[in-house]
Amino acid sequence: MVRTMLSALCVLALILGGLSGCTTPSPAEDEAPVEPAPVEEEAEEEEEHHHDEHGADEGVVGMMALAVVVDGEGQTIGEVRFTQTEEGVAVEGRIEGQEPGPKGFHVHETGLCEPPDFMSAGGHFNPEDHPHGGPDDDPDYRHAGDFGNLDFDDDGVAEFSFVDPVVTLGSGVNNIVGQALIVHFEEDDLTSQPVGEAGGRAGCGLIEEVESF
């Protein structure tokens, strides 16, 4: 029984990942050895391909954008500023009026912020059809919009400043101008599909190009 399960797992691993390290004892030892596939070369090519498709070099360096974030009652709870740099998009802001602790923070796939629940914003901004992840994950294993969490202090305020290397402003497949920025009621676990179990949507703001802050 155990051997059968191991074999099944190995077959699955071979199908999914092209892994060649499965050494499960099986009754198929008399089969001709399979020519090893050029797994590493393929992986490298794919990675280069993806790097061509996104990255800060596709944004318009110097472009600025602003999102005024409102809660479900339409009250302004903060502002977030975006600036395209050579390294990525600098994201700086302050949001208040939340429970203390980490709360999910993402760019979503529509530009619609309709209170009270902001479900109009749709799912996470994910033009390249990747799984949900966190900002520190490989760009191929996160949604473009996965900014992770904001940390709200005991006063319910989050002040933050970071650079995201995946999203862009003004051009490129991951251009976030015109998308909705969402802060959630719960923590994003950065793992669960499709949205990290971050709960409902506490605030929403349309990301709009501006000439100055």
Is 182 near Cu ion (CB under 5 A)? Answer: yes
Q: Of the candidates 132, 148, 180, 182, which one interacts with Zn ion according to CB under 5 A? A: 132
The item of Zn ion, Cu ion, none sharing an interface with residue 130, based on CB under 5 to 8 Å by kind, is none
The item of Cu ion, Zn ion, none sharing an interface with residue 54, based on CB under 5 to 8 Å by kind, is none
DSSP for 67-134? EEEEETTS-EEEEEEEEE-SSSEEEEEEE-S--SEEEEEEEESSS---TTT-GGG-SB--TT-PPP--
Is 71 near Zn ion (CB under 5 A)? Answer: no
* The one segment of 3-11, 69-77, 80-88, 181-189 that binds Cu ion by CB under 5 A: 181-189
Is the Cβ–Cβ distance between 208 and 125 less than 8 Å? Answer: no
One-letter identity of residue 103: K
* The one segment of 21-29, 45-53, 99-107, 111-119 that binds Cu ion by CB under 5 A: 99-107
Between 63 and 149, name the residue whose CB sits nearer to Cu ion.
149
For Cu ion, how many residues bind (rule: CB under 5 A)?
Answer: 2
Cα-based distances in Å from 28 to 23, 24, 130, 165, 197: 11, 10, 36, 47, 43
Q: Which two tokens stand for residue 84?
A: 């395209």
Q: Of the candidates 54, 103, 108, 124, which one interacts with Zn ion according to CB under 5 A? A: 124
Say how far apart CA 175 and CA 207 lie, in whole Å: 10
Nearest-CB residue to Cu ion? 106
Binding site for Cu ion (CB under 5 A): 106, 182
Binding site for Zn ion (CB under 5 A): 124, 132, 143, 146
